[in-house]
């Protein structure tokens, strides 16, 4: 591109400011991020026209001597129109011999919107569409609507992602725990059984504790056994739960026994 004129840069900045002040409605028009000579825009199909519901993207290229030369405007979205070619070129008088430095890009966009509503069959760029327009208007309008639906209809936004399900709660396996504790002496110990299973699905936790106590029993010697009222034969002494025989004087031996154990004592 040739070096732009100072008047050109001044005019471009003025049009940028004017576009920000104008009420464009659904029309968009603005320069690209990295080149003030390349503008982009979006033109919605006029209400009541065969292009209603569509959005047509356009590109605008400004010459180095703008506004003394007309801008080049093309449609980037395909459209079924007698004054717009398949390549997006536009046949409109203000972009050719009727261009004036008094015109602006904003007025060009408004003229394009009017062209969609009122095409010009006397100066067509696509003669076949112009012929169909004059001879079979119903077919022309039906085809134009189909193209609008196919090429210019904005695609709906994607649906929002479904909410993430909460992670399942970890299931704790319930069962029985057995803990054995030992006391200070070696002759006594506690056995504790804890049952933390559910009680028939009602959520109640029962705890069973079983305690096993080791008892001691004294074995008497033969002399003490002779003094007892029991005659010769076998003697049996049952030790109940949590009970132990008292130690007797002169006992010759002692060992721990478990509750409920039965011990046979043979007399000589």
Other CB atoms within 10 Å distance of the CB of residue 196: 13
Using alpha carbons, select from 137, 104, 116 the residue that is nearest to residue 13. Answer: 104
Whole-prediction pTM:
0.59
Q: Among the options 62, 73, 91, 144, which is catalytic? A: 91
- pLDDT confidence of 164, banded at 50, 70, 90? confident
**Burial group, residue 117, by CB count within 10 angstroms (0-12, 13-18, 19+):** middle
**Over the stretch 170-211, which tens digit does the pLDDT of each residue have?**
766 555 555 555 544 444 445 555 555 555 445 455 554 544
Mean per-residue pLDDT of the chain: 76
The fraction of the chain above a pLDDT of 70, given in percent, is 63
pLDDT of residue 99: 95
pLDDT of residue 72: 96
pLDDT of residue 174: 57
51 is annotated as an active-site residue: no
pLDDT of residue 32: 92
pLDDT of residue 2: 63
User: With 50 as the cut, is the pLDDT of residue 67 above it?
Assistant: yes
Rounded to an integer, the average pLDDT of 107-136 is 95
pLDDT of residue 117: 95
- For the chain, list the domains and their CATH numbers: 6-152 (3.10.110.10), 171-212 (no CATH), 214-268 (no CATH)
Contacts of 72 (CB under 8 A, 6+ apart): 60, 61, 63, 95
Is residue 64 within 8 Å of residue 3, measured between CB atoms?
A: yes
Spatial distance between the Cα atoms of 83 and 236, rounded to a whole number of angstroms: 124
**Over the stretch 8-41, which tens digit does the pLDDT of each residue have?**
999 999 999 999 888 888 999 999 989 999 999 9
């Amino acid at each position: 591109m040739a070096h732009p004129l100072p008047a050109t840069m001044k005019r471009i900045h003025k049009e940028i400011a004017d576009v920000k002040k104008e009420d464009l409605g659904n029309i968009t028009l603005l320069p690209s991020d990295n080149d003030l000579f390349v503008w982009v825009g979006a033109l919605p199909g006029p209400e009541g026209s065969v292009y209603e519901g569509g959005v047509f993207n356009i590109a605008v290229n400004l010459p180095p001597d703008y506004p003394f030369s007309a801008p080049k405007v093309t449609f980037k979205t395909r459209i079924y129109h007698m004054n717009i070619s398949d390549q997006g070129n536009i046949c409109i008088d203000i972009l050719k011999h009727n261009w004036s430095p008094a015109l602006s890009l904003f007025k060009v966009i408004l003229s394009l919107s009017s062209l969609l509503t009122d095409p010009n069959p006397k100066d067509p760029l696509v003669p076949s569409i112009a012929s169909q327009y004059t001879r079979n208007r119903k077919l022309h309008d039906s085809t134009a609507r189909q193209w609008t639906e196919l090429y210019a209809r904005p695609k709906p936004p994607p649906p929002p992602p479904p909410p993430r399900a909460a992670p399942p709660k970890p299931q704790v396996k319930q069962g029985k725990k057995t803990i054995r504790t030992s006391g200070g002496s070696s002759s006594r110990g506690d056995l504790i059984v804890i049952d933390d299973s559910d009680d028939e699905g009602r959520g109640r936790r029962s705890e069973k504790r079983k305690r096993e106590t080791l008892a001691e029993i004294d074995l008497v010697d033969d002399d003490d056994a002779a003094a007892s009222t029991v005659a010769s034969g076998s003697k049996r002494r049952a030790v109940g739960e949590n009970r132990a025989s008292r130690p007797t004087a002169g006992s010759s031996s002692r060992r721990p026994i478990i509750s409920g154990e039965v011990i046979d004592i043979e007399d000589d």
